[in-house]
A and B are shown apart, each in its own frame.
Chain A
């Protein structure tokens, strides 16, 4: 499949994601205590916020299954993930749910990252954003998720390797 056709398929999947996933529910995946530690990690013990990481089981599972189903819409291997803003730390996002071992943004064990420009565009524009292969061998689409007030409060990332990419994720991911 050509990169152009992959991009088109990814954009279609992004529109489905925006329609099917509830942004309000997405923002309930991570427990309030876990979110507090993501925003303000303990300066002395680097693993403490990970120790306090917890999720709402039912919401997480519902989101994960929807993301897995989204992947089945695409005729190539891809990884669908859910990103949410870090409450209490503007300008940062954290991964809430992930599948697969293909990552454009998430680095191993990373708890949060400054909002990448394309995510910023997606949050503010309210429309899917395509991130073409920039030499990384990856094609990504970002889909905005709205809450009941119409605000974009979460994003779905769907990332696939280009046919030429032979990059492999670390074995432990």
Chain B
């Protein structure tokens, strides 16, 4: 759609990014058909009830303009301007962070704040939302582009599908983060002249905005409060007083302010700054970390002695009692150790143990926990992030650890994983997010593999840290799919294109799962989807895995990278997700 004064609008599928000069992102170049075909003068889209349909809108031209959506109720249209990140390594400008567009907001090409020399194209992300209550059928909508001398319209024909999304996604796509000190650096204005409890209360308010943004994108936000030393900031834990038989937890004010709205779901009744009103049902979070470490609440000075058990049982018991006092919740509560011996605080690995001897500590911690909370209605889970020893630990820690978050090695153990799932344990796996310069559909690989393997979830190990200068000197933001909004006057997190693509992928998997579960054919559906997509989800282990104990494995003898997020993406076409999308709406997998 174009006019004589040089302005144009082009609808592009969600998996094809363009730079500010209208060229496909290099890693998306293999896309067979980035442009959405216009039929009968309309851009045709299908939206599930309770979810979104999305596309990218490319605006070309020069000068001032305004974009405005219009549609009939019950649909809602949200438009976001994509920020072009200058990539430090290549100098390319690539879109990712999304700035919500206010109604009638004046815009300009080139965009002054983005400061891309010679910019001729601006990419926008368009979200069309249908509530669950919408009646199936076709609704028209349009996007209008107004300039001083012309007006262009893009008519949309939106089919509201009879399919409704489940309230809770069938897989947990988890966005992990560490502590809260980064918030103070991202939003300095919010914390000026604040101290004491006022400072920490504001911290909690911002943390809740991160929970909300991810929840609205069908994801799950996790915030680990303690450090490797075993200590945490006051928003995560009550205060301790006394020792031994007199040790107790007290002052729950900040803890309750932080966790009560997450455990009962009321946190999700509010919107986060700059974002649309809540659309996902307000529900309890799937799970939360606790502040328990080897040195909290029991002092590690007494480890191996009767005083440790006394302090542990007394204080973890009080912790459990306090959770019960907050009322029933469907949330799981995680007993989890993150410390690594390489940082020298403890002699065993809480996280990713490499040495079998460390499992004895986990067994003892599991014994203490089970003894303390054995009749509690609180949904305690002993979470273990397992990698090197996972195959052995599946057996050795059975009955103690019941929530496994497995490293990339999980791909070598289909039978073992199946056994763990069959005994009722929760199984996630973990890794990283692809950086901005990777194929746009790359972020869907983790969604696909999670569901296709029959796992319950995937933890992206860090998604709130897009780098020191994500705006003009971007390192790829592999550890940040949400951005701090402060530089744009939004005192809360901004979504990204990667987050939106992931949300839509979760929707698709929810529809596929729903249809397969209804016909009791989940395993069969998984097999057929794997065949159709063509990306393998299980692999044979390298010979070193069969020859050597995990203590002797390393990058050389495994011939693979070990750190999360470093595994290469499968070499699929950027449009590979179309197969899943078609399966989602056709309710059958070819």
Say if the beta carbon of B231 comes within 8 Å of chain A: yes
Residues in B354-371 with C-beta less than 8 Å from chain A: 354-355, 357
Inter-chain contact B343/A171, CB cutoff 8 Å: no
Inter-chain contact A101/B342, CB cutoff 8 Å: no
Say if the beta carbon of B181 comes within 8 Å of chain A: yes
Say if the beta carbon of B282 comes within 8 Å of chain A: no
Contacts of B304 in A (CB 8 A): 61
- Which of these, A47, A60, A109, A171, contacts B233 with CB under 8 Å? A171
With the chains together, A109 CA to B274 CA distance in Å? 37
Residues in A122-172 with C-beta less than 8 Å from chain B: 168-172
* Secondary structure class of chain A's binding surface, majority of residues: loop
Contacts of A56 in B (CB 8 A): 347
Say if the beta carbon of B317 comes within 8 Å of chain A: no
With the chains together, A55 CA to B347 CA distance in Å? 6
Q: How many residues of B contact A (CB 8 A)?
A: 32
- Which of these, A50, A60, A97, A100, contacts B342 with CB under 8 Å? A50
- Which of these, A61, A96, A101, contacts B227 with CB under 8 Å? A101
Given A95-B344, A98-B344, A98-B345: A171 and B554 within 8 A (CB)? Answer: no
Q: Would you give the shortest CB distance from B191 to chain A, in whole angstroms?
A: 13
Inter-chain contact B301/A109, CB cutoff 8 Å: no
Inter-chain contact A101/B555, CB cutoff 8 Å: no
Contacts of A53 in B (CB 8 A): 341-342
Inter-chain contact A172/B303, CB cutoff 8 Å: no
With the chains together, A61 CA to B360 CA distance in Å? 14
Say if the beta carbon of B116 comes within 8 Å of chain A: no
Residues in B302-319 with C-beta less than 8 Å from chain A: 303-304
Inter-chain contact B354/A170, CB cutoff 8 Å: no
Q: Would you give the shortest CB distance from B365 to chain A, in whole angstroms?
A: 15
With the chains together, A69 CA to B300 CA distance in Å? 11
Contacts of A173 in B (CB 8 A): 227-229
Q: Mark B199-232, 1 if CB is under 8 A from A, else 0.
A: 0000000000000000000000000000111010
Q: Would you give the shortest CB distance from B295 to chain A, in whole angstroms?
A: 9
Given A48-B554, A57-B357, A61-B303: A170 and B181 within 8 A (CB)? Answer: yes
Contacts of A45 in B (CB 8 A): 554-556
Contacts of A171 in B (CB 8 A): 178-182, 227, 233
Contacts of B346 in A (CB 8 A): 64
Q: Would you give the shortest CB distance from A170 to chain B, in whole angstroms?
A: 7
Say if the beta carbon of B348 comes within 8 Å of chain A: yes
Contacts of B524 in A (CB 8 A): none
Q: Would you give the shortest CB distance from A37 to chain B, in whole angstroms?
A: 10
Q: Would you give the shortest CB distance from A59 to chain B, in whole angstroms?
A: 9
With the chains together, A55 CA to B563 CA distance in Å? 22
Q: Mark A27-66, 1 if CB is under 8 A from B, else 0.
A: 0000000000000001011011011111111001100110
Say if the beta carbon of A121 comes within 8 Å of chain B: no
Contacts of A60 in B (CB 8 A): 347
With the chains together, A57 CA to B340 CA distance in Å? 14
Inter-chain contact B344/A97, CB cutoff 8 Å: yes
Contacts of B299 in A (CB 8 A): 68
Say if the beta carbon of B249 comes within 8 Å of chain A: no
Inter-chain contact B227/A172, CB cutoff 8 Å: yes
With the chains together, A29 CA to B307 CA distance in Å? 25
Given A54-B341, A101-B227, A173-B228: A68 and B179 within 8 A (CB)? Answer: no
* Secondary structure class of chain B's binding surface, majority of residues: loop
With the chains together, A99 CA to B230 CA distance in Å? 9
With the chains together, A69 CA to B227 CA distance in Å? 21
Inter-chain contact A64/B300, CB cutoff 8 Å: yes
Say if the beta carbon of B562 comes within 8 Å of chain A: yes
With the chains together, A19 CA to B315 CA distance in Å? 35
Number of contact residues on A: which range applies?
20 to 34
Contacts of B563 in A (CB 8 A): 47
Inter-chain contact B178/A172, CB cutoff 8 Å: yes
Tell me which of A51, A57, A98, A171 has the highest count of chain B C-beta atoms within 10 A of its own C-beta: A171
Q: Would you give the shortest CB distance from A100 to chain B, in whole angstroms?
A: 6
- Which of these, A44, A64, A98, A172, contacts B555 with CB under 8 Å? A44
Q: Which chain B residue lies CB-closest to A57?
A: B347
With the chains together, A50 CA to B348 CA distance in Å? 13
- Which of these, A54, A65, A99, contacts B345 with CB under 8 Å? A99
Inter-chain contact B354/A51, CB cutoff 8 Å: yes
Contacts of B178 in A (CB 8 A): 171-172
Given A60-B347, A173-B228: A52 and B341 within 8 A (CB)? Answer: no
- Which of these, A42, A64, A68, contacts B347 with CB under 8 Å? A64
Inter-chain contact B341/A168, CB cutoff 8 Å: no
Q: Mark B162-186, 1 if CB is under 8 A from A, else 0.
A: 0000000000000000111110000
Q: Which chain B residue lies CB-closest to A29?
A: B347
Q: Which chain A residue lies CB-closest to B180?
A: A171
With the chains together, A40 CA to B231 CA distance in Å? 32
Q: Would you give the shortest CB distance from B39 to chain A, in whole angstroms?
A: 52
With the chains together, A103 CA to B343 CA distance in Å? 13
Contacts of A96 in B (CB 8 A): 344
Contacts of A57 in B (CB 8 A): 347-348, 357
Q: Which chain B residue lies CB-closest to A109?
A: B343
Q: Mark B332-345, 1 if CB is under 8 A from A, else 0.
A: 00000000111111
- Which of these, B179, B342, B355, contacts A172 with CB under 8 Å? B179
Q: Mark B469-500, 1 if CB is under 8 A from A, else 0.
A: 00000000000000000000000000000000
Inter-chain contact B344/A52, CB cutoff 8 Å: no
With the chains together, A125 CA to B355 CA distance in Å? 38
With the chains together, A44 CA to B347 CA distance in Å? 27
Q: Would you give the shortest CB distance from B356 to chain A, in whole angstroms?
A: 11
Contacts of B554 in A (CB 8 A): 42, 45, 48, 51-52
Q: Which chain B residue lies CB-closest to A81?
A: B344
Inter-chain contact B348/A47, CB cutoff 8 Å: no
Contacts of B181 in A (CB 8 A): 168, 170-171
Q: Would you give the shortest CB distance from A20 to chain B, in whole angstroms?
A: 15
With the chains together, A168 CA to B357 CA distance in Å? 34
With the chains together, A131 CA to B300 CA distance in Å? 28
Tell me which of B304, B342, B563 has the highest count of chain A C-beta atoms within 10 A of its own C-beta: B342
Beyond the given pairs A54-B341, A101-B227, 17 more chain A to chain B contacts, judged by CB atoms under 8 angstroms and listed by A's residue number, are: A42-B556, A44-B556, A45-B556, A47-B562, A52-B554, A55-B341, A57-B357, A64-B346, A64-B347, A65-B301, A96-B344, A98-B229, A99-B345, A170-B179, A170-B181, A172-B178, A172-B228
- 5 nearest A-B pairs in the assembled complex, by CB-CB distance: A171-B179, A60-B347, A53-B342, A50-B342, A45-B555
Could you list some 6 contacts between A and B, CB below 8 A?
A53-B342, A61-B347, A98-B343, A99-B229, A109-B342, A171-B182
